[in-house]
Amino acid sequence: MKIQINDRQFISNSEVRWYMSSQVVWIGKEKNYYEIEELIGKCYGSYKWLWSDEDTILFDQEHLNFIGAVIKLNEPIIVKRDKININSIEEKYGSIEISEKRNFDCKLSDFTEYYLEDDILLTHSNKWDVNNFSIEIKITSDFSVIVQNNEMMGIMIYKASTHLLPEGIYQIGENENIDSDLCLKIASYFKLLEKIDDDLTQHEELELKKSFMEIYDQVLPYDKLGYIALRDTILNVVDYM
């Protein structure tokens, strides 16, 4: 899938959503899969994610402009405690459009990383060569697409904790601030998630559940959407275990 860069921006920063419970990043105005399905006849893009592991990327048929995406994050999400450092990357502001009028397959999330200090969520294809020249296209203040050799290679969400939402909420609050405490709790949750294994003994499973619930109790007093999303997700995980 070849793409081009343009200066038209159609995505609002409030429409960049991260749903931790389903580990999906949702970009654009569409609120559910029924609305995505309604766009299939009106857009070019990749739609296979609705039935498989592929991501859904949408471009309007008239101007071929990017209008949204549904990206399933690959797990485990790796916590990085150092600052993000991508060599040979040029930053541009604008958006993207496809070069050809056709549908395609797209997988942007072979790897997912959460940079604790920067509060950045990065998900990218295994085709991305981080040592060679790339372009970071800032589509909103917090949402970027990574392009290499005129192909989409991944996405980055800055201030990721402010884009973390409970299921059923479709826009972030524009005035939400980064909370370093929430970032630490998110990182702790991901580290615990890596320990889930079919071979855990009953004692180990109970201890792991206890650790999850300790994070739950720590975020329980707070009413910001990110805290609500984290504790809802923890309950889902503990129930599943």
Q: What is the mean pLDDT of residues 135-149?
A: 95
Query: 30-34: which pairs have CB atoms within 8 A and are 24 or more residues apart?
Result: 30/58, 30/68, 31/170, 33/70
pLDDT reading at 198 higher than 80: no
- Cα 127 to the center of its chain, rounded Å: 18
pLDDT per residue as tens digits for the range 15-37: 999 999 999 999 999 988 888 88
| 3-state class (DSSP) for residue 225 | helix
Question: Residue 185 — φ and ψ, nearest 5°?
Answer: -70, -40
Q: How confident is the model at residue 49 (pLDDT cuts 50, 70, 90)?
A: low
pLDDT the model gives residue 220: 94
pLDDT the model gives residue 178: 64
Q: What is the mean pLDDT of the chain?
A: 90
- Amino acid of residue 194: E
Q: pLDDT: is 196 or 121 the higher one?
A: 121
pLDDT the model gives residue 107: 86
Maximum average pLDDT range among 36-45, 157-166, 198-207: 157-166
Find out whether 21 and 231 touch, Cβ atoms under 8 Å: no
pLDDT per residue as tens digits for the range 68-94: 999 999 889 999 998 888 888 999 999
Q: pLDDT: is 49 or 142 the higher one?
A: 142
Q: Specify the pairing of strand 78-80 against strand 111-115.
A: parallel
pLDDT the model gives residue 53: 66
pLDDT per residue as tens digits for the range 157-193: 999 999 999 999 988 876 556 667 999 999 999 999 9
pLDDT the model gives residue 68: 93
Q: Collect all residues with Cβ–Cβ distance below 8 Å to 96 and sequence separation of at least 6.
A: 3, 4, 5, 6, 65, 66, 137, 139, 145, 147, 152
Residue identified by tokens 């329980």 is 220
